[in-house]
Homo-oligomer: A and B are copies of this chain.
Amino acid sequence: MPEHASAPEPDLGSVTREVRAQWRTRQLLTAAARLMERDGFHAVSMQALADEAGVSVGLAYRYFGGKEDVLLAVIVDVLDAFAARVPAAIDAAGDDPVEQLAAAFRAYCEVIDAHRHAAVLTYRESKTLGPAGRERIKQLEVATSEPLRRVIADGCAAGRLAVADPDLFAYDLLLLAHGWALKHWYFERTLGFDDYVRGQTALALSAAVAPRYRRRYQRLLSPAREGAGT
């Protein structure tokens, strides 16, 4: 637990409104994520949230319309992380669509791992959000899965993948990534993060890689750790 409330705040006085507002927002968002990831949305009072962020309750209301807005912002924040990291991971994975798919899946899992319970908030609190917020989340979530769908489509087009329903497959990958958070209490007994990603990648690609390319991707299809190659 690094610095909490009494973090060395930057000199807010010397900074423009705009930048200060951004800093405050980030400060609150971070606190909200931390608490809600640990205790669940309903168990976090605005008082606790403010305390954690090291500000007053009133100030929280200057930056967010209400508790529900905070929840929405936290969720959007996580979804933004997907939107930022997954495409980047794909770009960094070279031209091979199967490698790209594996990289994309790993990136999803990494974001989940970094936001463990916050990611689950998407499910858990869907009922808490008003219809407007809920709609926004749904849309963002679909958009977030878009890169994955595109990579799968590419792989199919290139003949490397053979998937009957790419849409379904894409969502399954999302689900398996979320599974790391959803079933963490179970998996952690036997698997580390890396084991989980490798195992799931192997399973998923077993179902998706076209038979004639199986050998080529042996490295990804076997969950065992191997020394050579990256």
A interface residues with partner B (beta carbon < 8 Å): 39-40, 42-43, 120, 123-125, 127-128, 138, 142, 163-165, 167-169, 171-172, 175-176, 179, 182-183, 185-187, 190-191, 196, 199-200, 202-204, 206-208, 211, 222-224
Contact = CB atoms under 8 A, between A and B. Distances in A.
A213 to B, nearest CB: 14
Contacts of A185: 138
A97 B40 CA distance: 40
A171 B186 contact: yes
B42 A168 contact: no
Instruction: Give this chain's copy count.
Output: 2
B179 A171 contact: yes
A200 B168 CA distance: 8
Contacts of A128: 40, 42-43
